[in-house]
Structure 1
């Protein structure tokens, strides 16, 4: 009797497999919906498999549904990941961007960006294009109505004075005690040594991961203490980062980086052991190099009084803070494009492109060309050359090169590691260069980005 049931089941399964093959031959798109499309999408759009090897677009204040409607454009433009603005509930419905950085709870969904279901839908659809969604996570503070006083809109579970440090306002960020234990910008500072505060962070981050998030930017990361470096053996030291990051679901597949702005109290060497950090100083250097039309000095990636390895650096020309605080808002689209092309062409850094409000530079043909170059050159080393102050050559192995020329028309006759051959610009300017016997020669138009490679990288 048992044998007969097994035989019937086997026969039924065989029939179902035959039927599935028959349907699939006529309706392959229907069947493909049930496959893991992320790997296929990465191949279709030539995106790297690992987020840190790709390019991030910062979709600042974009609603989840609006990002979702543009996902194919992001994939076509070569973006591997999208950083969304903070997803936590806000104290009101204001469109003032600073409201997004005053969280009222540790859950997904706010009036400005959309609901939990909107976020989950975005992550699911992004996966179909091989794109990862990165969340700007606020773990250090809550919304306030006045300095040192929580806003009444925060969740009742957060209305307990013992959950906060209650040490007043930080007046010196070079002092580690003040930087980690006092309120920053008047925002009520959470007592991150407490296990219940740590548990809230863990629950929130895992809620994001389970909804489909592929990584995090940790806002104000340096204002949450560690137990090493400048914090070692101090009264305020804690295991916050070890506990929180060690409790994340799918942690080996996440890309994470922290906002660690440089100063004498940033303890950056410890944060770098946990995640990549924001290369704020390098962005400043790039902006000024382009504006002054002198691209020398852009080899190293400075961070205060130290230097970051490219593999530890999240690099950008500008961030939302730079733009909104007037540090970069007067830079033209052309200046931003020249600067970002330098960062985007380099090896091992993770470049992030800030999308200004009501601006489409993120899908400019030259930006797209350098994004695709970045993706094609994963694993290739770099060699930088400056044939003159206004012109920078970023070579990647023997396979490709980006030339950023912020000056006028010029003629290049330079040493190179590129293979012999003829190279035609893949960006918008009309330019063809020849390589022979270790030298590259040709005319370079002024004020243009030149992208050269005859290569594809199937093993990204």
Structure 2
């Protein structure tokens, strides 16, 4: 979640054989058939070894944003083969079942409902059951992958009628005692530490995390996660939970939440724990690092995004983590789910640019990089892509540049870093690790070689493309080829291991994921690096396919989705998995005279607009739309003056820097006479 209720304008939107510790790197050898649950016993054991860091601090984390437990389990081979040390789940707690259980990331369902706890027990309708979570963790252990759970302690769902009685009892027996006394106030002043840690933030009721009985209840939840196989936790909105010396309400409790949850949870000494502490105003980041162990470095992420999009990778920008004198115990990212969704990063930065940024932060010595995997087939024109909770995200997380730099990071553990701009050109940056390796990121025009380097003399092959050679002699790096624009070059020999290319499966880029009711769709299937790709449609028996073949997809009777599961193995028997979901397309009409109402929050301005559009890119007026009619204090109306086919509506308070809108993204469907309120 993100500080405040900040809404931004969008118009349209196997079997474990051995684990040998070598230095600080773990090499995992597996038998892919048994560890992937395959019934195919015809292939031999793999000789694949994936190098993982000995601990999460030294490796990389894959944020499996809104993937369900079964999808993560089925994708574990891909995650290991891509060089990650750990994965991070979305929140696994019981949560509000919004939109009658809708499973779209946005629309008929919302990704953020799993950030609205109703209880602190494992399992929810979006991600799966406790048994499925444990099975996922068991699979991760086979591959040497650690599991980090995203946890929320600061707030519950604003739909307080859905909060469980067990949680209420743990909070003192009533909703009033579960929450802070100051929960009656909305947080607007982030510089006020008492307000920041006890007021309601973004409409989410603020739990009294100082209450001993609540802490006991929450630690039980953490211990259950650990018992199932969790190796660490990410604390959402950590900045809103008080530090020991923070001011607090006069309720007889003390600010000891962090001390208890960090030290009293089982296996505490071996857990990787970090807090989301978004920088900006009085965030006390050094103190949170001391209290929790690690925090996020959000300002650094914004600086890297700006550097990549502006082609200005100066040494000063790249090197400064913007943490002041705080210890460098941090999780770094190019983007997080918050800024992707709330800050408009989805249309400001391409996936290719994200990968360039990832190469920069991952090649560095300090920090633990987190890779946010965007929704499947999202783009700068389409934020949500397939728009489905539970499925695997985009293939960008296993891009060849991402893989190469992940394994580079593991091989470079313990090596110092040196950051330079080759040829004094700030559109490119080289991150050297001792004399052992270097990563070059070039954001603009082709870059001439012949520049100075600390790399040891020798011949190096770019580990991204596996073929381009670079020579280092007498401190100069040369090649017959320029370094291409918008590319990553990864150079190292010591510690390099060659892995068989992973199998690839998917559907064509022009696939439409909505099917009209009663209709069928022809879907083109893709695959590479495999000779045994298969698809299973709506749970039927698997069918072999070749790259470019098509399948006819329809939504089964009694369901609103069709599911296509794609699997393949490479020559070493390592499995790749993808689940593609098609939903029934909603079509409806409204007539002229349809009237809707909107109740605005008190924090909004008094001039309210209705922006209406449809899939044909027709709109009632350019943003912010047409001004609504004030019916009474806080209530406004809008009357449609013409017939519409499948319109969507967004309410907002104008076109200015601090304007607010609802919803934050895709518009709402229109229902005659309905009064819309912010959930």
Q: Do both share a fold (TM > 0.5)?
A: yes
**Counterpart of 2:346 in 1: which secondary structure?**
coil
For residues 341 and 238 of structure 1, the distance between their equivalents in structure 2, rounded to whole angstroms, comes to 39
Question: Quick check: 1:179–1:265 contact (8 Å CA) kept in 2?
Answer: no
Q: Which of 262-271 and 48-57 deviates more?
A: 262-271
**Counterpart of 1:444 in 2: which secondary structure?**
coil
1:163 aligns with 2:178: yes
Question: Alpha carbons of 1:81 and 1:129: their partners in 2 closer, same or farther (altered >3 Å)?
Answer: same
1:264 aligns with 2:281: yes
* 1:128-147 paired onto structure 2 within 5 Å: 128-145=142-159
1:112 aligns with 2:112: no
Out of 199, 213, 217, the residue aligned to residue 216 of structure 2 is: 199
Task: Give 1:41's aligned residue.
Answer: 28
For residues 167 and 352 of structure 2, the distance between their equivalents in structure 1, rounded to whole angstroms, comes to 46
Task: Give 1:448's aligned residue.
Answer: 487
For residues 284 and 237 of structure 1, the distance between their equivalents in structure 2, rounded to whole angstroms, comes to 35
* 1:362-381 paired onto structure 2 within 5 Å: 362-381=397-416
Question: Alpha carbons of 1:37 and 1:426: their partners in 2 closer, same or farther (altered >3 Å)?
Answer: closer
Task: Give 2:354's aligned residue.
Answer: 336
Which runs of 5 or more structure 2 residues have no equivalent in the other structure?
Answer: 1-13, 30-47, 103-108, 169-173, 377-393, 498-679
Out of 429, 432, 436, the residue aligned to residue 399 of structure 1 is: 436
1:408-438 Cα offsets, whole Å, 9 max, x none, are: 1121233322111011101128632211122
User: 1:116: Cα distance to partner?
Assistant: 0.2
Q: Which of 114-123 and 41-50 deviates more?
A: 41-50
User: 1:327: Cα distance to partner?
Assistant: 3.3
Task: Give 2:55's aligned residue.
Answer: 50
Q: Which of 167-176 and 449-458 deviates more?
A: 449-458
User: 1:261: Cα distance to partner?
Assistant: 0.6
**Counterpart of 1:401 in 2: which secondary structure?**
strand
Q: Which has the higher strand share?
A: 2
Task: Give 1:300's aligned residue.
Answer: 320
Out of 410, 420, 434, the residue aligned to residue 447 of structure 2 is: 410
For residues 247 and 36 of structure 1, the distance between their equivalents in structure 2, rounded to whole angstroms, comes to 29
1:248 aligns with 2:265: yes
Question: Quick check: 2:120–2:167 contact (8 Å CA) kept in 1?
Answer: no
* 1:432-447 paired onto structure 2 within 5 Å: 432-442=469-479, 443-447=482-486
Question: Alpha carbons of 1:178 and 1:376: their partners in 2 closer, same or farther (altered >3 Å)?
Answer: same
Question: Quick check: 1:37–1:130 contact (8 Å CA) kept in 2?
Answer: no
For residues 136 and 33 of structure 1, the distance between their equivalents in structure 2, rounded to whole angstroms, comes to 27
Task: Give 2:635's aligned residue.
Answer: none
Question: Alpha carbons of 1:110 and 1:425: their partners in 2 closer, same or farther (altered >3 Å)?
Answer: same
User: 1:287: Cα distance to partner?
Assistant: 0.7
Out of 89, 93, 97, the residue aligned to residue 84 of structure 1 is: 89
**Counterpart of 1:89 in 2: which secondary structure?**
strand
**Counterpart of 2:335 in 1: which secondary structure?**
coil
1:324-374 Cα offsets, whole Å, 9 max, x none, are: 114311111111111111011111210111011112100111111111111
For residues 33 and 339 of structure 1, the distance between their equivalents in structure 2, rounded to whole angstroms, comes to 34
For residues 145 and 405 of structure 2, the distance between their equivalents in structure 1, rounded to whole angstroms, comes to 18
User: 1:51: Cα distance to partner?
Assistant: 1.1
1:41-78 Cα offsets, whole Å, 9 max, x none, are: 27921111101111100000001000000101100000
User: 1:89: Cα distance to partner?
Assistant: 0.8
User: 1:33: Cα distance to partner?
Assistant: 6.1
Task: Give 2:308's aligned residue.
Answer: 290
For residues 268 and 240 of structure 1, the distance between their equivalents in structure 2, rounded to whole angstroms, comes to 17
**Counterpart of 1:172 in 2: which secondary structure?**
coil
For residues 210 and 144 of structure 2, the distance between their equivalents in structure 1, rounded to whole angstroms, comes to 37
Task: Give 2:558's aligned residue.
Answer: none
1:284-323 Cα offsets, whole Å, 9 max, x none, are: 11111011101012111014xx3554x4120111101111
**Counterpart of 1:298 in 2: which secondary structure?**
helix
For residues 187 and 267 of structure 1, the distance between their equivalents in structure 2, rounded to whole angstroms, comes to 22
User: 1:37: Cα distance to partner?
Assistant: 9.8
Question: Quick check: 2:429–2:442 contact (8 Å CA) kept in 1?
Answer: yes
How many residues are treated as equivalent by the alignment?
418
**Counterpart of 1:78 in 2: which secondary structure?**
coil
Question: Alpha carbons of 1:378 and 1:234: their partners in 2 closer, same or farther (altered >3 Å)?
Answer: farther
For residues 158 and 232 of structure 1, the distance between their equivalents in structure 2, rounded to whole angstroms, comes to 25
Question: Alpha carbons of 1:37 and 1:357: their partners in 2 closer, same or farther (altered >3 Å)?
Answer: farther
For residues 48 and 343 of structure 1, the distance between their equivalents in structure 2, rounded to whole angstroms, comes to 16
**Counterpart of 2:421 in 1: which secondary structure?**
strand
**Counterpart of 1:435 in 2: which secondary structure?**
strand
Task: Give 1:3's aligned residue.
Answer: none
For residues 412 and 437 of structure 2, the distance between their equivalents in structure 1, rounded to whole angstroms, comes to 8
Question: Quick check: 2:276–2:295 contact (8 Å CA) kept in 1?
Answer: yes
1:322 aligns with 2:347: no
User: 1:165: Cα distance to partner?
Assistant: 0.4
Which runs of 5 or more structure 1 residues have no equivalent in the other structure?
Answer: 1-28
| C-alpha RMSD over aligned residues | 2.2
1:191-215 Cα offsets, whole Å, 9 max, x none, are: 1111011112211111101110010
Question: Alpha carbons of 1:436 and 1:120: their partners in 2 closer, same or farther (altered >3 Å)?
Answer: same
For residues 326 and 244 of structure 2, the distance between their equivalents in structure 1, rounded to whole angstroms, comes to 21
Question: Quick check: 1:83–1:135 contact (8 Å CA) kept in 2?
Answer: yes
| TM score, norm. by length of structure 2 | 0.59
Q: Which has the higher helix share?
A: 1
| TM score, norm. by length of structure 1 | 0.86
**Counterpart of 2:331 in 1: which secondary structure?**
strand
